[in-house]
């Protein structure tokens, strides 16, 4: 026996003038809300006409309301979409919803929902960087792709330990991440080799040379530290309390920056959007390697 469709408990408005059927749930809504929100719904309403069964079911009211079945969607997801669109209901995007909402926003061309989902990812990508990277690639969100890649690269072993973690990432993105990680490891090896040979950096102050070599030994000993930690340690080498080191340290820092960039094979950046945080301090913020959303 075929289940009888039932009304949505949230979005079934008596004065609605179009019905959406999703998994045996009927949403009676308003065409003006849909057409103002979505190009897809606008075109859909213009072509929607009531079937004979629908007309029979509502003949006692004397009103014919077109009904359209939305296939391939889950009723709870459509309910959340409508809760986003309607001003009388409140819905807050979460990690449990953002993937489905981005899919619906893309499918039905709801630009305001896409914008809200992107804003959520920008606020929250640090909580789930791998998930954010997958969604950013799937929906071509270049800013989130770049920022989430920084955190994935910074904790590479954690994310790449389980092959199933990579499901949903294209081979292209996986390759970019692995290449960037390999460049980092090779950079550490180069740094270690030239340091133990005492050809880099050309320091005359024994205390400063010892300080620098301790730093290099720390970051180049397996298991390797994260790229952001290594970058911070190298750029914070300091012994300015020693008078004989001050001038040499002033000349050393730009030299370190130039060499490390050449060794690691790319630029490092702060995380975007952190400068707006209330406790932001540029001097203590970490810098990260990254990949970008583009065709290589």
- The domain that holds 17 is classified in CATH as 3.30.710.10
User: At which of 98, 116, 134 does a domain end?
Assistant: 116
Radius of gyration of the chain (CA): 28
Residues 49 and 98 in one domain: yes
Count how many domains the chain has: 2
Q: How confident is the model at residue 275 (pLDDT cuts 50, 70, 90)?
A: low
Give the global pTM: 0.85
- Report the relative pairing of strands 18-22 and 25-29 from DSSP bridges: antiparallel
Residues 112 and 26 in one domain: yes
Considering 34-43, 246-255, 267-276, the range whose residues carry the highest mean pLDDT is 34-43
H/E element, 9: strand 6-12
Per the prediction, the chain carries an average pLDDT of 85
What is the per-residue pLDDT across 44-72, written as a single tens digit (0 to 9) for each? 666 555 554 544 444 445 567 888 889 99
pLDDT score at 132: 98
In a domain, 178, yes or no: yes
pLDDT at 198 over 80: no
Residues 81 and 185 in one domain: no
Residue range 228-255: mean pLDDT, rounded: 77
Contact 271, 143 (CB under 8 A): no
In a domain, 126, yes or no: no
The DSSP bridge partners found for residue 28 are 12, 19
Q: How confident is the model at residue 2 (pLDDT cuts 50, 70, 90)?
A: low
In a domain, 246, yes or no: yes
In a domain, 85, yes or no: yes
pLDDT score at 155: 95
Residues 193 and 87 in one domain: no
More confident residue, 139 or 236: 139
What is the per-residue pLDDT across 154-168, written as a single tens digit (0 to 9) for each? 999 999 888 889 899
How far is residue 204's CA from residue 124's CA, in Å, rounded to a whole number?
47
Give percent above pLDDT 70 in the chain.
Answer: 84
Residues 184 and 106 in one domain: no
In a domain, 240, yes or no: yes
Residue range 127-139: mean pLDDT, rounded: 97
Residues 88 and 155 in one domain: no
Residues 160 and 49 in one domain: no
More confident residue, 241 or 62: 241
Domain region containing 71: 6-116
How far is residue 173's CA from residue 292's CA, in Å, rounded to a whole number?
9
Q: How far is CA 73 from the centre of its chain?
A: 24
Residues 67 and 153 in one domain: no
In a domain, 176, yes or no: yes
Q: How confident is the model at residue 185 (pLDDT cuts 50, 70, 90)?
A: very high
Dihedral (CA of 123, 126, 128, 129) sign: positive
In a domain, 128, yes or no: no
3-state SS class at 22: strand
Residue range 256-281: mean pLDDT, rounded: 73
């Amino acid at each position: 026996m075929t289940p009888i469709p039932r009304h949505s408990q949230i979005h079934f408005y008596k004065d609605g003038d179009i019905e959406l059927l999703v998994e045996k749930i009927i949403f009676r809504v308003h065409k003006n809300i849909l057409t103002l929100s979505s190009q897809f719904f606008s075109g859909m309403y213009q072509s929607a006409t009531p079937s004979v069964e629908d007309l029979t079911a509502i003949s006692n009211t004397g009103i014919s309301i077109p009904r359209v079945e939305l296939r391939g969607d889950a009723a709870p997801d459509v309910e959340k979409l409508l809760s986003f669109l309607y001003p009388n209901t409140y819905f807050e995007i979460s990690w449990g919803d953002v993937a489905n909402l981005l899919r619906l926003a893309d499918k039905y061309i709801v630009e305001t929902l896409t914008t809200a989902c992107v804003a959520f990812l920008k606020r929250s990508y640090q909580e789930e960087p791998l998930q954010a990277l997958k969604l950013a690639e799937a929906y071509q969100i270049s800013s989130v792709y770049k920022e989430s890649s920084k955190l994935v690269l910074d904790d590479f072993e954690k994310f790449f330990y389980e092959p199933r973690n990579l499901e949903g990432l294209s081979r292209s993105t996986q390759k970019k991440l692995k290449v960037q990680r390999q460049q980092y490891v090779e950079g550490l090896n180069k740094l270690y080799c030239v340091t133990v040979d005492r050809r880099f950096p050309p320091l005359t102050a024994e205390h400063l040379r010892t300080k620098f070599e301790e730093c290099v030994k720390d970051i180049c000993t397996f298991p390797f530290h994260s790229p952001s930690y290594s970058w911070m340690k190298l750029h914070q080498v300091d012994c300015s309390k020693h008078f004989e080191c001050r001038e040499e340290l002033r000349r050393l820092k730009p030299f370190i920056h130039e060499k490390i960039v050449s060794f690691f094979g790319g630029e490092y950046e702060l995380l975007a959007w952190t400068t707006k945080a209330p406790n932001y301090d540029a001097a203590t913020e970490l810098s990260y390697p990254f990949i970008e959303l583009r065709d290589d």
